[in-house]
Amino acid sequence: MTTITVAKGDGIGPEIMDATLDIILAAGAKIKVEEIEVGEKVYLSGNTSGISSASWDTIRKNKIFLKAPITTPQGGGYKSLNVTTRKFLGLYANVRPCVSLHPFVLTKHPVMDLVIIRENEEDLYAGIEHQQTDEVVQCLKLISRPGCEKIIRYAFEYAKQQNRKKVTCFTKDNIMKQTDGLFHQVFNEIAAEYPEIENEHWIIDIGAAKMADTPEAFDVIVMPNLYGDILSDVAAQITGSVGLAGSANIGESCAMFEAIHGSAPRRAGQNLANPSGLLQGAVMMLNHIGQTDVAERVHNAWLKTLEDGIHTYDIFKEGTSKQKVGTREFAQAVINNLGKTPEILKPVQYANSKALELPQYKRKQPRVKELSGVDLFVHWTGTDPNQLAATIKQLEGETLKLAMITNRGIKVWPDGFQETFCTDHWRCRFLPAGQSVIRKEQIVELLQNAITQNIDTIKTENLYTFDGKAAYSLGQGQ
Ligand code: NAD
């Protein structure tokens, strides 16, 4: 018996959760349900994160969380509970199988069967944003080696367990050579440990286009957070319905399972909603807790029900569908089909689908890190980079010299183009003349000089080399 935490959520949440629990209990799930309240009511009671500390305790105690969609109230600084839960509980892997159910659910991609594994904790979702000048705001994209290693290893272990043949990596490392470059590099390192699994890398833009056009060319796709967020919705949508997909959020100790759709408030309370997405989440949960036989029974009964043409309104199509049913009737039909397997759709087999056990991340030997310069970012409302350079040059110390000015990453001094559009946000790069390493005190001197000269420095970024290799971007145009 496994105790799981359940949140029935908002909108259609309670109806689809009741249907899901009815089905899995009828299938023999050995679970004890402990219910918590999260979502709209909690938000509106004045709790901006939508969850009480007692509910956190329950989730952390039980470690397994089955969650219905919730409504995040508009405005008012309410935080997304999903993002909060994923980050606080370290749920680093978001797993979304996207399988078409042709000919029972209409799709342009009848043989699609892929799984998107999305990094779930970092990237632009670190949520570190600043406005620095009148015209420019920034969002920090943080990619870490442990983050990359965990998610990429998860993708390969998942492929191995599920007998999948290929893992594809999507990044934009032709542009983001440090962040996406690290993701790609770690992908290559880990792929080498799995010679039995094919691996490939696509630049995200053409990869996304290929996935939307020819999804059958892919098997498992692993990617950083933002790309995964967008492309997992695209992949689910092109199977024929986002309403049918579930997702698992897996961490080292806790895991959360859900439907990928929202709370569909307009459909709430009318016995209309399709419980399939949450049921798919529950199937993943059953596998995760080792009740693979129950997961298999539920999934196959669900496939059989779709094959029987018993469909909720969202997938009902004259000709293909036989009976339009509500949430409760759909659940009953799945229960009636427990023990049966589909005849046209491919039945699932889950004997080997228990939770993956991955090695703990091991920190590598630190590399030789040396300070080799600094980027000084300034707020300046002039337009001529040569004029800025003349001012900034007055900050130079004995050895630290102005080497370059860029605006939004494009080199504008020396030898800039007049045509380059400039904002009020300038990066001034200082490098040492005649030596390769600088002292931190030189940066402090630089900043002190900037204050004296009334230059509005908004931030600095230290330039480092690791094992002698420059680990920062160069200005475009260099
Ligand atoms: P939505 O997914 O709730 O609805 C999109 C469309 O799909 C609607 O037409 C809806 O009626 C339909 N739909 C969705 N699920 C369905 C189902 N199971 N059966 C039948 N039809 C279904 O997206 P939205 O309208 O953008 O968002 C509504 C609310 O849900 C918002 O408050 C949003 O913040 C929240 N939301 C929550 C989650 C979550 O908790 N995981 C995810 C996304 C959105």
pLDDT, tens only, 168-185: 999 999 999 999 999 999
Nearest atom (ligand 1) to Cα of 9: 40
CB atoms within 10 A of CB 113: 16
Same domain, 232 and 250: no
Same domain, 233 and 115: yes
Percent of the chain clearing pLDDT 70 (strictly above)? 99
Identify the pLDDT of residue 99: 95
- pLDDT band at residue 478 under the 50/70/90 scheme: very low
Identify the pLDDT of residue 97: 95
Assign residue 342 a region: left if phi > 0, alpha if psi is -120 to 50, beta otherwise?
Answer: beta
Of all helices (H) and strands (E), which one includes residue 56? Answer: helix 53-62
Residue 357 maps to a domain: no
Residue 476 maps to a domain: no
User: What whole-number distance in Å separates Cα of residue 294 and Cα of residue 291?
Assistant: 6
Identify the pLDDT of residue 434: 80
CATH number, domain containing residue 463 = 3.30.70.1570
Tell whether ligand 1 has an atom less than 6 A from the beta carbon of residue 70.
yes
Nearest residue CA, atom 16 of ligand 1? 243
Tell whether ligand 1 has an atom less than 6 A from the beta carbon of residue 233.
no
355, 412 Cβ separation under 8 angstroms = no
Q: What SS3 class is residue 44?
A: helix
Q: Which of 82, 263, 312, 330 to mutate to test the pocket of ligand 1 (most atoms within 8 A of CB)?
A: 263
Residue 355 maps to a domain: no
What value does the mean pLDDT take over residues 368-375?
Answer: 96
Residue 13 maps to a domain: yes
Nearest atom (ligand 1) to Cα of 265: 28
Against a cut of 0.85, is the pTM above it? yes
The beta strands (E) that lie in 140-183 are given as: 166-171
Tell whether ligand 1 has an atom less than 6 A from the beta carbon of residue 310.
no
Q: Which of 261, 272, 279, 329 to mutate to test the pocket of ligand 1 (most atoms within 8 A of CB)?
A: 261
Tell whether ligand 1 has an atom less than 6 A from the beta carbon of residue 376.
no
Residue 436 maps to a domain: yes
User: Domain range for residue 299?
Assistant: 1-90+241-348
Same domain, 201 and 254: no
Cα 302 from chain centroid?
Answer: 28
Single residue among 180, 211, 239 that ends a domain in this structure: 239
Residue 98 maps to a domain: no
Average pLDDT, the chain: 94
225-231-233-237 Cα dihedral, nearest 10 degrees:
-170
Nearest atom (ligand 1) to Cα of 39: 40
Same domain, 281 and 377: no
CA angle 70, 5, 221 (to 5 degrees): 65
Identify the pLDDT of residue 426: 98
- The tokens for 289 are 């807790």
Nearest atom (ligand 1) to Cα of 276: 18
Residue 102 maps to a domain: no
Same domain, 200 and 169: yes
Tell whether ligand 1 has an atom less than 6 A from the beta carbon of residue 260.
no
Q: For residue 453, is pLDDT > 50?
A: yes
111, 400 Cβ separation under 8 angstroms = no
Tell whether ligand 1 has an atom less than 6 A from the beta carbon of residue 72.
yes
Same domain, 116 and 204: yes
Same domain, 117 and 233: yes
Tell whether ligand 1 has an atom less than 6 A from the beta carbon of residue 264.
yes
CA angle 284, 286, 287 (to 5 degrees): 65
User: What whole-number distance in Å separates Cα of residue 241 and Cα of residue 235?
Assistant: 10
User: What whole-number distance in Å separates Cα of residue 95 and Cα of residue 284?
Assistant: 9
- pLDDT band at residue 86 under the 50/70/90 scheme: confident
Same domain, 201 and 121: yes
Identify the pLDDT of residue 425: 97
Choose between 73 and 266: higher pLDDT. 266
Percent of the chain clearing pLDDT 90 (strictly above)? 86
Identify the pLDDT of residue 69: 95
Same domain, 76 and 12: yes
Which residues are registered as beta bridge partners of 99?
Answer: 113
CATH number, domain containing residue 24 = 3.40.718.10
Of all helices (H) and strands (E), which one includes residue 31? Answer: strand 31-36
Single residue among 239, 269, 292 that ends a domain in this structure: 239
Identify the pLDDT of residue 157: 97
CA of 277 to the centre of ligand 1 (A): 11
Tell whether ligand 1 has an atom less than 6 A from the beta carbon of residue 62.
no
Cα 221 from chain centroid?
Answer: 12
User: What whole-number distance in Å separates Cα of residue 120 and Cα of residue 115?
Assistant: 15
Same domain, 305 and 374: no
Same domain, 342 and 377: no
Single residue among 239, 268, 298 that ends a domain in this structure: 239
Residue 361 maps to a domain: no
The structural domain count of the chain equals 3
Nearest atom (ligand 1) to Cα of 258: 41
Nearest atom (ligand 1) to Cα of 68: 40
Same domain, 328 and 429: no
245, 188 Cβ separation under 8 angstroms = no
- The tokens for 149 are 């290693």
User: What whole-number distance in Å separates Cα of residue 42 and Cα of residue 52?
Assistant: 8
Q: For residue 475, what are the CA distances in angstroms to 136, 386, 407, 465, 478?
A: 18, 16, 9, 16, 6
